[in-house]
Structure formats: C-alpha cells, structure tokens
Amino acid sequence: MLAADAVLLAADVLLLAADALLLAGDAIVMGPLGGSRRVGWGGSMVPDRLA
C-alpha cells in the first residue's frame, strides 16, 4: 500500500508541475498579446488576468 501511495503522490506532483508549466506558457503566449485564452491550450479555467 505504501508503494502505491508513493506512486500516486509522485504522479500528483508531476501533474502539478505540468499544470504550472502550462500556466506559464499561457501567461507568456497570451499575456503580451492580451487576447482571449484559446480553449484546450492549457486546459485550465484561470482567467487571463490571473495567468
């Protein structure tokens, strides 16, 4: 059970890191342009002003 929990925790950390990278990409791509977020780019619901 501990090994399975460790694997799940590691997967969660990797997913959080991937989300952070996608949000950073959104901020870089959309920030300077000031455009609307394209659906499906980051898969996040964070408004442009917060990204």
As a whole number of angstroms, the distance between CA 15 and CA 1 comes to 21
Torsion over CA: 5, 7, 9, 11 (sign): negative
As a whole number of angstroms, the distance between CA 20 and CA 15 comes to 9
Residue 35 has pLDDT above 70, yes or no: no
Structure tokens at 26: 């959104």
pLDDT-based confidence at residue 33 (cuts at 50, 70, 90) = low
> Can you give the pLDDT at residue 21?
82
Q: 47, 23 in Cβ contact below 8 A? A: no
Residue 10 has pLDDT above 90, yes or no: yes
Residues of the chain with pLDDT > 90, as a percent, come to 18
